[in-house]
Amino acid sequence: MQDIFGHLPDGTPVTRFTLRNPLGTEVDLMTYGAAIVACRTRDRDGCLGDIALGFSDLDSYVNHSAYFGAVVGRYANRIANARFSIDGQTYTLAANDGPHHLHGGRRGFDKHVWNATAFEHEERRRVTFFRVSPDMEEGYPGHLAVQVQYTLTDGDELVVDYAANTDAPTAVNLTQHTYFNLAQESAVDVLDHRVQINASAFTLVTEGLIPTGDIVPVEGTAFDLRAETAIREAIDQPHEQLRLARGYDHNFVLDRTGEGLVLAARLLEPTTGRTLEVSTTEPGLQFYTGNFLDSTLRGRSGRPYPRRSGLCLETQHFPDSPNRSAFPSTILRPGKTLITQTVFRFGVRRDAHVPPFPRIALFRAS
Ligand code: GLA
C-alpha cells in the first residue's frame, strides 16, 4: 500500500509505503530520509501499538533534526573537527555539532527525497530506496550511489540491507536511526526497558562525544550490559562517561568471532512484553537513550517527547574512524561495493514480569 505523506515546500511529493505481514506487523516507510515513519507490533495480548517515535506531518521532519527513523549518512555519528584525510588529501566537512561533523552534516541523507520501488510477493514484501550523493556533498569526495532496502518477513523481522559504491575514495558509515519505545510511541520514557548489549568493550569519548581512541572493557561498570539490565538501574550511576553524554550515547564494540550477522542487542519492555532483537554485520552499536529530547518536539500522538522517551540502537562503524587508523576502516574505494545488513526482530515475551498495581490503602468494613 502506498500514499502521499506530504509535499516539500517546492512541491515535491513524498511517498509513504506500508509493509504488512500476516502477523499484523506494519511498518510505514517514506521517501524523505528513506525513513521508518511508524512501526506497529503486537504486545503480549495481541494488541498493535506503534513503537517508533516520529511526527504526523512532513513539515516537522523537514524543520527538525532529531533523525527520527531516518537513514543517516554519508557518515553516521561524529567526525572530529569536521576533517579527515584520504591518501594524503584533506577534506573539510560541514561542522554542524560545534566544531565537529555529525550525521552527514547540515543536510545529510535524512534530509533528501530518495527514489523508491516497492515489491511484494508471497512471504516477501519490501521497499528499496536509492539515491546518488553528489561529489563534494557536505564536503565528501566522490559520487556515492546508495541503496537501502527494507524487507518485512513472515517471521516478524525487518531486514535492512545497505549497499553503496563510489567513483572516488570516500568515507561511509550508514545507519538506521529509529527511536524505539516498546511500551508505545507516546509512553513517558524508556527507563523500564531492559536492555542487553553483546559488547565487552566500548569506545571512550571526551567532550563533544569524540572518541579518545581508547577501547575500554565494560567489565564491572555501568557499560556492562551483557546481562539483561533495566536501564533505570544503570543510567544514573556515577560514571564520568554517563555524565559527559547525560546518559548513554556511546559506541559499543560488539563481540564477534568472525564476519556475518551477530546478535548485537536485545530489548524487553516488561509491561507489554514486547521484545526487539537487533543483529548486524557491523562492528559497533551506538546506544543512545534520547538524552537530547526535551519535550519541544511533539510526536505523532500529539504528546511531547521528553528526555529519554525513546532509545536508538544504531548499528554502525565506530565514530571518527576516518581519523583513527586503529578502528575498522570506513574508507570505500572505487571498484568495491559496501554491503552491510541489520535485522530488527520483533517479538513478545509472555513470562515477562508485570509490575504490580500501585499499592492503595483499602478501607475495611468494620
Ligand atoms: C545520535 C548521536 C546523539 C544525537 C542523536 C540525534 O545518536 O550519537 O548524540 O546527536 O544522534 O539527536
Atom from ligand 1 closest to the CA of residue 288: 7
- Is the Cβ atom of 344 under 6 angstroms away from ligand 1? no
pLDDT bracket for residue 352 (50, 70, 90): low
Does residue 67 line the site of ligand 1, with CB under 6 A? yes
Report yes or no: 33 and 148 within 8 Å, Cβ to Cβ: no
- In the chain, pLDDT over 70 holds for what percent of residues? 96
| Partner residues linked to 25 by β-bridges | none
| Tens-digit pLDDT profile for residues 221-247 | 999 999 999 999 999 999 999 999 999
Decide if pLDDT at 346 tops 90.
yes
Closest residue by Cα to atom 6, ligand 1, is 66
What does the block give as the cell for 338?
A: 559496501
* Dihedral over Cα of 301, 114, 81, 212: its sign: positive
Which residues neighbour 134 within 8 Å (Cβ) at sequence distance 6 or greater? Answer: 143
- Known active-site residue 353: no
Instruction: Give CA–CA dist 190/146, Å, rounded.
Output: 32
Catalytic residue among 157, 277, 282, 314: 314
- CA-nearest residue, atom 9 of ligand 1: 249
Q: What is the pLDDT of residue 354?
A: 58
Burial (CB < 10 A; 0-12, 13-18, 19+), residue 137, is buried
HSE-CB at 206 with a 13 A cutoff on CA atoms is 8
Q: Is the pLDDT of residue 68 over 80?
A: yes
Residue with CA at minimum distance from ligand 1 atom 4: 292
pLDDT at 122 over 80: no
Q: Which pLDDT does position 186 carry in this prediction?
A: 86
Residue 272, phi-psi category: left (phi > 0), alpha (psi -120 to 50), beta (remainder): alpha
Residue 248 Cβ inside 6 Å of ligand 1? The answer reads no
Lowest mean pLDDT among 55-59, 269-273, 326-330, 362-366: 362-366
What's the whole-number average pLDDT of the chain? 95
pTM (2 d.p.): 0.95
Q: Which residue among 100, 101, 112, 177 is the active-site one? A: 177
Asked if pLDDT for residue 364 goes beyond 50, the answer is no
What's the CA-to-centroid distance between 34 and ligand 1, angstroms? Answer: 18
Find the range with the poorest average confidence among 188-192, 244-248, 358-362: 358-362
207 is an active site residue: no
Mean pLDDT for the stretch of residues 293-298: 96
For the cut 80, the answer to whether the pLDDT of residue 24 exceeds it is yes
Q: Is 66 in the pocket of ligand 1 (CB under 6 A)?
A: yes
CA of 209, closest atom in ligand 1: 9
**What pLDDT does 359 receive?**
39
Which tens digits make up the pLDDT trace of 134-168?
999 999 999 999 999 999 999 999 999 999 999 99
* Residue 27 scores a pLDDT above 60: yes
Q: For atom 5 of ligand 1, which residue has the closest CA?
A: 66
pLDDT in the model for residue 252: 98
What pLDDT, on the 0 to 100 scale, is given for residue 355? 55
The whole-number pLDDT of residue 324 equals 98
